[in-house]
Amino acid sequence: MRRVRVLIDCNDEKGLVYKISKVFYDRDLNIENNREFVDREQSRFFMRTVVTGEFNKNRLRDAIKEVIPKSANLRVIEPKKKSIIIFATKESHAIGDILIRHEAGELDADIKAVIANHNTLKGLVERFDIPFFHITANGKSREEHEEEVKRVIDRYRFDYIVLAKYMRILTSDFVSHYRDKIINIHHSFLPAFIGANPYKQAYNRGVKIIGATAHFVTDDLDEGPIIAQDVIPINHRFEWRDMQKAGRDVEKIVLSRALNLVLNDRVFLNGNRTIIF
């Protein structure tokens, strides 16, 4: 018995659910899980179905293709571990959380390598027998640095790049090259406190809640589609370093939660927004 995830997004039109479920019914497949959503403003249809049964994957894909709009995005995916590369700088909480999940077999991904612009995390990463590449940015242009990074990561096949508190801004070129494949954790409740040192900004503004945001990386700094967010309450006793310390727990949990959603093919892009099933 096989199991696949069928992911469809396309312009909405009458009968989509009927036609798609007919494809499954005609093949005697079992629908294990089914989620749909129509963005009525954009008139766009999203569907994620897990089906099981006896079938040929390519023929199933072709059959679905026949009944949905030509311009539809269709993915028929076997549930298996994906591959990721992690970028980090100095802080260990976000990458540490991923390493522990990885070690426990709870992450639906293999970590292929860790790239860092500082050497701080080398010890931690190598404790887990994962390749660590220290690629300093000192004395290099942004482009030169990224060129070096690319040379290293392109040795690997990977599905996603995870920025686990990578404190550098990526160039447009780099981002375009790995379009929809880069996930970042920003240490604020976006769109509040875009840019550098959000905790200092939060302290200065006197907010009573701080948060973190996991998002896909696009050209615009901290403007990409949001996957997950969470917050914690703070009070006047928190100096900005206390916020930073408390915020780390939110950052790592939000990043891991978003990563988990992405690895399970639960995230659809919808313009600058996301659909999460």
Residues tagged active-site: 222
Closest distance to a copy of itself from the beta carbon of 115 (Å) = 19
Written as one letter, the residue type at 87 is F
Site for a copy of itself in 83-142 (CB under 8 A): 91-93, 96-97, 99-101, 103-104, 106, 123-124, 127-128
Q: What does the alpha-carbon distance between residue 224 and residue 227 come to, in Å, rounded to a whole number?
A: 9
Query: Does residue number 235 form part of the binding site for a copy of itself (CB under 8 A)?
Result: yes
Among 11, 34, 83, 171, binds a copy of itself (CB under 8 A): 34
Instruction: Choose between 21 and 89: whose C-beta lies nearer to a copy of itself.
Output: 21
What residues form DSSP beta bridges with 232?
Answer: 210
Maximum Cα interatomic distance, the chain, rounded to a whole number of Å: 63
String marking each residue 172-211 x if it binds a copy of itself according to CB under 8 A: -----------------xxxxx----------xxxxxx-x
Q: Which of 195, 220, 216, 219 is nearest to 274 (CA)?
A: 216
Instruction: Choose between 31 and 152: whose C-beta lies nearer to a copy of itself.
Output: 31
Query: Does residue number 1 form part of the binding site for a copy of itself (CB under 8 A)?
Result: no
Among 10, 11, 36, 171, binds a copy of itself (CB under 8 A): 36
Question: In the chain, which ranges are continuous DSSP H helix?
Answer: 16-26, 57-67, 93-103, 122-127, 142-153, 172-177, 198-205, 240-263
Of the ranges 29-37, 63-71, 78-86, 165-173, which one interacts with a copy of itself (CB under 8 A)? 29-37
Closest distance to a copy of itself from the beta carbon of 223 (Å) = 8
Q: CB within 8 A of 41, min separation 6: which ones?
A: none
Closest distance to a copy of itself from the beta carbon of 65 (Å) = 18
Among 33, 42, 43, 56, binds a copy of itself (CB under 8 A): 33
CB atoms within 10 A of CB 204: 11
Helix axes 93-103, 240-263, angle to 10 degrees: 40
